[in-house]
Structure 1
Amino acid sequence: MIVVGGLPFSTDSPSSSSSQSSESDTLFGLIEHPILVSASRSFKCMQERKVSAFDDSASKYVYIFQREYATVDPAIVHYVGTDEATTCVGLVIRNRRNGMTSVAHMDSPTIVDIGLTQMLSLVVDHGFDAELDVHLIGGFDDVTLNHANGSTISQSHAKLDGYSFPLCAKILNTLQRRQEKFHIQTLFVLGHNTKRDSQGNAYPIFTGFLVETSTGSLIPASFDRTSRCPDEIVRRIRVTTCYEDASWNGKLLETYDTQTDRFVIAPCRWSLHQLRIIMTLQHLSDAEILLTCSTSPSAEASDFVETLRRQWNYLIKQPEWRETFHKKQARVFERTADGGWKRC
């Protein structure tokens, strides 16, 4: 159940029945809700924080990559965040009572159902009684609306394409169907998170955020390479290789161990087929790589192609996955005294 401003949210009206409602009704209704519009305006005015591992070694951070999630205990972790979300959506769920906070970087509607169950497993501890604050940040206006009746929005006749809109709609509809109480605090997605250049090309305003676990407050954020850790390259590779691993179907990637404050990178395999594709891609120009490998070529960060090439170079140099996951064991990292990470 979705709650906004202390009141249950519903798309029902006297002039419409539930059978006539489309799956877009919840998203349309929420994105135009006055309380959430005001929250989006406030979020938009915030200064983006640049996060580096060298800035604040006294604070404990957890960073998640695309398709990963992490649930953190505020007694152990001070901040949790993600970035690089263009058509992806960052989802935050925080228990008001104990501060337990789960963050996911969702990249497809197919992982929403199971992914939400994974996130809630350590956040909700007493049935459906928990009051949960929810924030959605990411996704932008990469959707085209072709309406049958001109300038007015006709939801029943709108043709929706792109990646951001179906993902946002799926997340919100799934939250609405569940029995837990989800208090939507921030819905900074789609049009709210879109800016345009002089040619009318759309870009996301913010692609990341940071959550302060003790208070639940959010700020826009971007991370440098030193703060996207530990095990950056291997974790990025897992995002790609998991699509050929049936054990991860419909799931978010488990990475962080909440109880021990360690990262546990489960083994993943890369195949000869994947290596052959990489050998072909590496010969493409930067522009061709963007068009081939990104869902939003014009909106990617300046280091997008460089990051892909670093992943490919790793795989070419280590074609056998067992060399990375020795004896098929997970790669485990524990936190050091200076706030960094070391391999166990």
Structure 2
Amino acid sequence: MIFVNDLPFSTHTHSSQGEDILLALLENPVLLSASSSFKANPEKKFSVFDESNPERSKVVYVFQREYATVNPEFVDFVGTDEATTCVGLVIRNRRNGMTSVAHMDSPEIVETGISQMLSLLVDDSTEIELDVHLIGGFEDVSLQHENGSTVSESHTDLDGYSFPLCTKIVQTLWTREEKFHIKTICVLGHNTRRDLDGITFPLFNGFVVDTATGILVPASFDRSSRCPDEIIRRIRVSTSYEDANWNGKLLETYDTGTDRFKIAPCRWTLRQYQIALSLQHYSDSEILSICSTSPSAEAPDFVDSLRRKWNYMIEHPHWKETFPKNQPRVFERGSDGRWRRC
């Protein structure tokens, strides 16, 4: 059930189709204003080496296909970046400030993924009010057809990645019983810029949530702050696509109750090792073309991150070296706010 401005939301045609709901939300004046306000905020930059932050804010970082539900008593900020066609979804319990953030990369993980996010946010009562923000995705295809009709009028299937993902998210929120108050929907055209050649790019690739207030601002994280266990978590995302245990699910890495990261074992196969070995021989431009859903929109360190991941798999071909005795890699927060391996 979707609310906007604390009122039940409906489309002009009272349609329950995901495309119609999405386009109506994108055109809603209240949400247009909220999107503009979000974009007006300066981007917050995170780095472990930022000495201007003496109090060492407690941050939880979420990679692609991961989610984390955080308690404001333990965590100051939770966020993600590196999103191009992916969408960041935030669900926050108004009553206690518990906040869940997911980095959605496919419509196939949305339904179960939202259930995972809600598992620690709601109890048996459906009366809990939940604030929701959608940030990310961009117009990797146009929402306008050559004849001028919109998608909602023609219902033509769209290629691309962002639109089907956004559609699936709002459709799922619409059909569930919980009360979802959409506060921000900065996606697709609202998150798109064009260069002189008309090539589209996302305005923002990331955001962060202040857990005390629920306020979102654009954000970026450098390599040092995409932690802990950056490379292993990147590998885990890649291997999860071939692991039936994670079909249709978001990856769990953060333990809400203990404020620890627990990176469950993941197995890279001989086939995945050989793929890594093969891809390392390609040029940067070829890697972008092969490995990205939006090659022109990726960050400058996209290829470098892939190469570092592949290098690790090549140097450690046996996953048991990384996960001895099939045990998770556990990290706890030190007194200085930095993560340390237990």
TM-score (structure 2 length as normaliser): 0.96
Deviates more, 1:34-43 or 1:186-195: 34-43
Quote the Cα distance in structure 2 between the aligned partners of 1:12 and 1:266. 46
Partner of residue 35 from structure 1, selected from 12, 30, 48: 30
Partner of residue 260 from structure 1, selected from 255, 258, 261: 258
Aligned residue number for residue 47 of structure 2? 52
Aligned residue number for residue 334 of structure 1? 332
Quote the Cα distance in structure 2 between the aligned partners of 1:161 and 1:144. 9
Pairwise CA distance, 1:277: 1.2
Aligned residue number for residue 149 of structure 2? 152
Pairwise CA distance, 1:251: 0.5
Paired AA for residue 61 in structure 2: Y
Unaligned runs of 5+ in 2: none
Alignment of 1:102-121 (within 5 A): 102-121=100-119
Quote the Cα distance in structure 1 between the aligned partners of 2:31 and 2:249. 29
Pairwise CA distance, 1:152: 3.2
User: 1:147·1:159 contact (CA, 8 Å) conserved in 2?
Assistant: no
Pairwise CA distance, 1:343: 0.7
Quote the Cα distance in structure 2 between the aligned partners of 1:75 and 1:153. 45
Percent identity reads 66
Alignment of 1:59-208 (within 5 A): 59-145=57-143, 147=145, 150-153=147-150, 155-157=152-154, 158-208=156-206
Quote the Cα distance in structure 2 between the aligned partners of 1:316 and 1:34. 52
Cα deviation code 1:190-238 (max 9, x no counterpart): 0000000000000000000010001000110000011100000000000
Cα deviation code 1:131-185 (max 9, x no counterpart): 000000000000234637x123252423411000000000000000000000000
Quote the Cα distance in structure 2 between the aligned partners of 1:219 and 1:270. 36
Paired AA for residue 7 in structure 1: L
Aligned residue number for residue 229 of structure 2? 231
User: 1:4·1:184 contact (CA, 8 Å) conserved in 2?
Assistant: yes
Cα deviation code 1:316-338 (max 9, x no counterpart): 00000000011000000011011
Aligned residue number for residue 242 of structure 1? 240
Quote the Cα distance in structure 1 between the aligned partners of 2:259 and 2:125. 25
Quote the Cα distance in structure 1 between the aligned partners of 2:94 and 2:73. 14
Pairwise CA distance, 1:275: 1.1
Aligned residue number for residue 8 of structure 2? 8
Partner of residue 299 from structure 2, selected from 285, 298, 301: 301
Pairwise CA distance, 1:99: 0.3
User: 2:209·2:217 contact (CA, 8 Å) conserved in 1?
Assistant: yes
User: 1:211·1:219 contact (CA, 8 Å) conserved in 2?
Assistant: yes
Paired AA for residue 296 in structure 2: S
Distance 1:59 1:89, change over 3 A: same
Paired AA for residue 121 in structure 2: V
Deviates more, 1:150-159 or 1:173-182: 150-159
Cα deviation code 1:94-115 (max 9, x no counterpart): 0000000000000000000110
Alignment of 1:282-301 (within 5 A): 282-301=280-299
User: 1:80·1:212 contact (CA, 8 Å) conserved in 2?
Assistant: yes
Paired AA for residue 7 in structure 2: L
Moved over 6 A (4+): none
Cα deviation code 1:65-120 (max 9, x no counterpart): 00000000001111101000000000000000000000000000000011001000
Quote the Cα distance in structure 2 between the aligned partners of 1:146 and 1:272. 45
Cα deviation code 1:224-261 (max 9, x no counterpart): 01110000000000000001110001100000000000
Pairwise CA distance, 1:12: 5.7
Distance 1:47 1:146, change over 3 A: closer
Paired AA for residue 341 in structure 1: W
Quote the Cα distance in structure 2 between the aligned partners of 1:248 and 1:229. 22
User: 1:257·1:264 contact (CA, 8 Å) conserved in 2?
Assistant: yes
TM-score (structure 1 length as normaliser): 0.96
Quote the Cα distance in structure 2 between the aligned partners of 1:39 and 1:230. 32
Quote the Cα distance in structure 2 between the aligned partners of 1:140 and 1:223. 20
Distance 1:343 1:168, change over 3 A: same
Partner of residue 310 from structure 2, selected from 303, 312, 321: 312
1:25 pairs with 2:23: no
Q: CA RMSD in A?
A: 1.3
Quote the Cα distance in structure 1 between the aligned partners of 2:143 and 2:338. 46
